[in-house]
Amino acid sequence: MAMKAAEGVPPASAAGGLPNEIHADPDTNSRSLVAKRLLAEAFGTFLLVTVDCGGAVIGSLDGDVTSFARSAATGLLIMVMIYSIGNVSGAHFNPAVTAAFALRGVFPWRRVPVYWIAQLVGAFIGAGLLRWMFGDVAHLGATLPQFGAARGFGMEIVLTLILVSVVLGTATRHRSIGANAAIASGGAVALCSLFSRPISGASMNPARSLAPAVVSGELRDLWIYLVAPFVGAALATLTMRVLHSHKHSSEREAAQGR
């Protein structure tokens, strides 16, 4: 998932005071590489929202799309996108995953904001597309706790703990596992969704929850899905720090792309 990144913070650009990270990659001096990484994150998150939230919308219109089908489709989408573009950006598609890689020390903090922006842009395009195609059906798949905010919050922490533990754990073995980490990550998404979707919606992803909530106007309990995934990601990072205390050079490639 990526090249080794320089550890320092780049100076601000002359135009607009934005970090030069946005304009040129410090390792390759390639604006096109940075653009490709951000496009990959936006594209992957767009497809994630379109598939997972779209499953809720279409399922409301036609009962043939079951909760099981949504869970399987979302897991498969994550798997195939990691296989197809994971080498470009690391295939995070999730602000909590990006934060976890940064906390692990294998992803530069200076890239976190631009990755988050790209993920949010992709998510909002996906939600906007669903709104344009179907109208405000099923709140565009916005995630809502069905058994109270406390249970929903706790469930989202546990689910993100599972997902991010798998993501970080496979990254530590990137040299031997390679692109097959896609199977583990996609499987983790499907697994978490299959057993917990009725409780919290199985988001595990702030961008996936924020976009349909804002576009549909369904903002109830949104805070759960903006906070819990980061808590779960932090707990997963601490767990992996104990279980995989040694960082491997290949983790940077897994986290950042090539």
200 Rama class: left (phi>0) / alpha (psi -120 to 50) / beta: alpha
Under 8 Å between Cβ of 257 and 88: yes
For the ranges 25-39, 138-152, 199-213, which has the lowest average pLDDT?
Answer: 25-39
Of 257, 249, 248, 254, nearest in space to 25 by CA: 257
Average pLDDT on 130-139 reads 96
Burial class (CB in 10 A: 0-12, 13-18, 19+), 117: middle
Q: Which two tokens stand for residue 219?
A: 């903002």
Cα 9–chain centre separation: 24
Q: Which residue has the tokens 């989202």?
A: 156
Q: How many angstroms separate the CA atoms of 189 and 82, rounded?
A: 13
* Domain residue extents for the chain: 30-256
Q: What is the pLDDT of residues 93-110, one digit of tens each?
A: 999 999 999 999 999 999
The dihedral over CA atoms of 245, 250, 252, 253, expressed in degrees to the nearest 10, equals: -150
Residues 6+ apart with CB under 8 A from 84: none
Q: Reply yes or no on whether the pLDDT at 19 is more than 90.
A: no
pLDDT at 22 over 60: no
Residue 257's φ and ψ, nearest 5 degrees, are 85, 180
Q: In whole angstroms, give the CA distance from residue 235 to residue 219.
A: 26
List pLDDT tens digits, range 214-224: 999 999 999 99
Reported as a single tens digit per residue, the pLDDT across 51-106 is 999 999 999 998 889 999 999 999 999 999 999 999 999 999 999 999 999 999 99
CB 82 within 8 A of CB 250: no
Please tell me the CATH code under which domain 30-256 is placed. Answer: 1.20.1080.10
- pLDDT tens string 150-208: 999 999 999 999 999 999 999 987 665 777 889 999 999 999 999 999 999 999 999 99
Q: What one-character DSSP code corresponds to residue 57?
A: H
Kindly report the backbone phi and psi dihedral angles of residue 19, in degrees, each rounded to the nearest multiple of 5, phi listed first. Answer: -60, 145
